[in-house]
Chain A
C-alpha cells in the first residue's frame, strides 16, 4: 500500500496522471504498467513522503514532475523491478529522500541529476556505485543548494572510482565552501588550498600501493590477450588483440576508454631515469619491489605519475605510483 499522502495526491490529480500514463504507453509500447506501479510504490512513494514532510505545499508539483520521470525511466527499463540495473531504484528509495528540501524547491534538476548520475555511475565498469551512494548519504545534510549538490556529486563520483573525473572534481570543488569541499574529499580537518594542490599534483595521493587492473575476457575482464602498454599524458594507451584503449587510473579507481591505433602509435615508450628493471626486481629510485612475474619479457611503461607493469604471462596491468 502506498502512503496516504501519495494516495491523496494521486486521487486529486487522477485525470492528469492517467492521461500522462496513457500518453507514455503510446510512446513506449513496451511500457509495463505493473512495473510502473511497483516503482511508484517502492521508488516514488518514499520520495513523496519525504518531500511532503519537508514542504507540504510543494508536494503536488513535485509528485507531478517525479511521476513523469518515473514513466520515462521505467519505459527505458532503467527503473522498476525489472530494471537492467537496480541501483537507480535504490537511489530513489534511499538516497533521494535525504535531499527532500532540495527536491521540493527544484524537483526536476535535483531528481534528474541524481537519476542520471546513478545511471552513469552504475554504468562505468570499475566504478563503485554503493560507495557513491554511501558517501552521498553521509554528506546530504551539509548540501544546501542545487549547485552544491551538483559539485558534491561529481567529487564523490570520482572518489567512487570514476578516475577520469579527477581534474573535473577538483575544479568543481572550487565552487564549494571550503568546509564542504573538504568533507566531500573525506578530509574535514585538512587545509583546502593545500589539499587541492596535493590532489592536483599527485593522482595517487592516499594510495601508495597502486592498483592492479584488467583480466582475461573469458573471465569477465577486458583483455583478450595480455595487454601491451604505452604512456600518454592522460594515462596509458593499451593494446590488446586488435583493440586499443585509454586507461585512466589513480588513487580512486581505474577506467578504460576507447582509443585509436594512431594514439597507440604516438604514445611514449620512454621510462623515467629512476626506473630500472633487473630480472624480476623493479627499482624505482632507491626502492625495490620484487615482482611476482617470471623474469624476462616484463614490460614497463610510464607517464608523469604512474608506472605500468605488464607481462605476456598475465592479462592484468600493475599500476604503481611514481610520485
Chain B
C-alpha cells in the first residue's frame, strides 16, 4: 500500500470497540502500527466478516457518500436530548455508535442478498449508492454501469432479458433449437434497476419473475439467475411514475431507503471532489471487496444470529395488531382487512359498523392492511443482519426497532382517517412514514409492557407445551390439555372487545385445540 491512501484508508479495526475479554493479549507487533504503511499490510490478518462489513460501512460514510446523518440511533446509557422549534421536535445525541440508514440498509441488503428500493428526489445519490454496492461485490465500475438497467417507457422484455438469436429464429425447427442471447446483468450478484417506476407494465411482469423467482424466461428457455442483492431506484415510493408499479413487484422490495437531504455545511467535501475530479467508486480499497464465497458465509452467519424469545414475542404482539377487521367477515378466520380488500366492499361503511373499540388505543385502526409473511421474514432477516453488523450474536429489541420502519415503509399503509393522525401532536406522522412506524412499534411495546406479557402469557405456555411434541402423550393428558385450552378461551372471550392480539391468540388456541383433537382421534384408533 502506498504511503498516501486518503480515499483508500480503512477505519482501523475494531470499528465497534466492545468490552475486552478478561484475559488481555497484548501484541508487541503493535509497536510498529502507525501512519506509515510497511508494505506487508497487504496480507491483512483474517478479519471476521462482520468487522469487514463495518470497515466497508465506515469507508463509505467517510470517503464515498457524504451522508452525515445518524438516524439509526443507539444509546448506551442516557443520551442528551434537546427540544427544538415551535413544534418542540427532539434532537437526540446518541450515546452509542449510530448509523446512517442511507448507507447501512443498502449494505445490509448487500450482505443478505435482499432487495432495496432507494427513493428520493433527483441527484441525491441513489444511483451512486447502488453503484458502490456493485463495486463492493467485485465488479468493476464499468461492468456495474453497463449492467445497470435503466427504466424507460419503451423498455421491452427483450431489452430486459435478452433476444433470441436471429439465425436460430429463421432456421429452428422447434423452440428448443432457438438460442437466447441473455443479458449479462442477469448473472450478476448485484442487480441494479434505475427508475423502476418508468418500466412499462408488461416488462414489469418479466422483472417480477426475475426478482421473485430468480429466473428469466424467453420463448420457453429458462435462465437461472444466481442469488443477488437488488437495488431499485425511484423518485418516489408511492408506486406512481410513468407507469403504476404493479403491487406484486412493489411487494418484492424488502426495504425502502430514503435519500436524505444534503447538508450544505459539507459543501467543502463536494468542492474537493470537483477540484480533484475524484470518483469514490473508482477508489474502493481492495480490502473491502467481498467475494461471492464471503457473502455466502456472511449470509449463513446472519441466519445463525439468534432471536431471543423475548424479542420474538414483542414482534409477534406488534404484528398481531393490524390484520383484524371484525366487521369484514362472518367466519372467525375471515375477519381480516385482506378479506375486506379482496371483496372490494366499502371500507368506510364496514368501519362505521365497527363495534365501538377504542379507535385511538387500537393500533390496528391506524393502518389499512396487515403485515404479510414475506414482510415478517424480511423483518427477521434484517434484524439479524443488524445484530450481525453490530457484532452481536443475538438480536436486541433495539435492532428490531431500528430496521422495522425501513422494512415496513412500503408494506404497512397508514389510514389517514384514523383518529391517531387527527391529534395535533401526531400530525407530522402523516408525512413522516418512518417516524410513524417507529412510534407504532413503541406504542405496541408500551402496551406489551402494560399487559405484562413477558411474564403473563398463558397462550405462550400452552404453545411451548405443544412444541415439546405429542410422542407418548396419553389420551387422558390430551383431554386435560383440551380442557385447559377451552377454559382459557372462555376466560379470554368473556365480555371483552376483540383486538388484534386477542384475535391471533384465539386463532392459535383454536389451532392447538385442533391438533390435540386430531391426535386424540388417532390415539383412539391405536
- Among residues of B, the one whose C-beta sits closest to the C-beta of A266 is B22
Q: How far is the CB of A69 from chain B (nearest CB, A)?
A: 6
Q: Please tell me which stretch of B37-45, B145-153, B299-307, B450-458 contacts chain A, meaning at least 4 of its Cβ atoms lie within 8 angstroms of it.
A: B37-45
Quick check: B40 and A24 within 8 Å, CB to CB? no
**Measured CA separation A144–B212 after assembly (Å):** 65
**Measured CA separation A172–B6 after assembly (Å):** 33
Given contacts A68-B3, A68-B4, A109-B39, contact A116 B24 (CB under 8 A): no
Residue B32 CB within 8 A of the other chain: yes
B3 partner residues in chain A, CB cutoff 8 A: 68-69, 71-72
Quick check: B4 and A232 within 8 Å, CB to CB? no
Quick check: A168 and B33 within 8 Å, CB to CB? no
- Among residues of A, the one whose C-beta sits closest to the C-beta of B276 is A26
Given contacts A168-B26, A168-B27, contact A119 B4 (CB under 8 A): no
**Measured CA separation A78–B34 after assembly (Å):** 11
Quick check: A234 and B24 within 8 Å, CB to CB? yes
Quick check: B19 and A172 within 8 Å, CB to CB? no
Quick check: A108 and B39 within 8 Å, CB to CB? yes
Quick check: B35 and A120 within 8 Å, CB to CB? no
Quick check: B276 and A165 within 8 Å, CB to CB? no
Quick check: B36 and A72 within 8 Å, CB to CB? yes
Main secondary structure of the interface of B (DSSP, over half): loop
Quick check: B4 and A165 within 8 Å, CB to CB? no
Q: How far is the CB of B275 from chain A (nearest CB, A)?
A: 8
Residue A112 CB within 8 A of the other chain: yes
Quick check: B20 and A115 within 8 Å, CB to CB? no
B33 partner residues in chain A, CB cutoff 8 A: 116, 120
Residue B29 CB within 8 A of the other chain: yes
B31 partner residues in chain A, CB cutoff 8 A: 116-117, 120-121, 153-154, 157, 162, 165
B170 partner residues in chain A, CB cutoff 8 A: none
Given contacts A108-B39, A109-B40, contact A120 B26 (CB under 8 A): no
* Binary flags per residue of A256-295, CB closer than 8 Å to B gives 1, else 0: 0111101100100000000000000000000000000000
- Among residues of B, the one whose C-beta sits closest to the C-beta of A155 is B28
Quick check: A116 and B4 within 8 Å, CB to CB? no
Other-chain contact of A113, B6, B23, B30, B32 (Cβ < 8 Å): B32
Quick check: A165 and B28 within 8 Å, CB to CB? yes
**Measured CA separation A266–B19 after assembly (Å):** 13
**Measured CA separation A153–B32 after assembly (Å):** 9
Quick check: A165 and B34 within 8 Å, CB to CB? no
A262 partner residues in chain B, CB cutoff 8 A: 19
Quick check: B4 and A23 within 8 Å, CB to CB? yes
- Among residues of B, the one whose C-beta sits closest to the C-beta of A255 is B26
**Measured CA separation A138–B276 after assembly (Å):** 47
B34 partner residues in chain A, CB cutoff 8 A: 112, 115-117, 119-120
Residue B348 CB within 8 A of the other chain: no
Residue A316 CB within 8 A of the other chain: no
Residue B2 CB within 8 A of the other chain: yes
Residue A84 CB within 8 A of the other chain: no
B20 partner residues in chain A, CB cutoff 8 A: 258-260, 263
- Among residues of A, the one whose C-beta sits closest to the C-beta of B6 is A27
Q: How far is the CB of A149 from chain B (nearest CB, A)?
A: 10
A232 partner residues in chain B, CB cutoff 8 A: 22
Residues 158 to 183 of chain A near chain B (Cβ within 8 Å): 158, 162, 164-165, 167-169, 171-172
A258 partner residues in chain B, CB cutoff 8 A: 20
Residue A58 CB within 8 A of the other chain: no
Residue A150 CB within 8 A of the other chain: yes
Other-chain contact of A233, B23, B28, B29, B35 (Cβ < 8 Å): B23
B40 partner residues in chain A, CB cutoff 8 A: 109
Interface centre among B26, B27, B33, B39 (most CB of A within 10 A): B26
B6 partner residues in chain A, CB cutoff 8 A: 27
Given contacts A116-B31, A157-B31, contact A73 B36 (CB under 8 A): yes
Interface centre among A164, A232, A258 (most CB of B within 10 A): A164
Residues 3 to 21 of chain B near chain A (Cβ within 8 Å): 3-4, 6, 19-20
Q: Write the residues of chain B forming the contact surface with A, with a CB cutoff of 8 angstroms.
A: 2-4, 6, 19-20, 22-24, 26-40, 275-276
Q: List 7 tightest A-B contacts by C-beta distance, closest first.
A: A168-B28, A116-B34, A112-B36, A164-B26, A260-B19, A154-B28, A112-B38
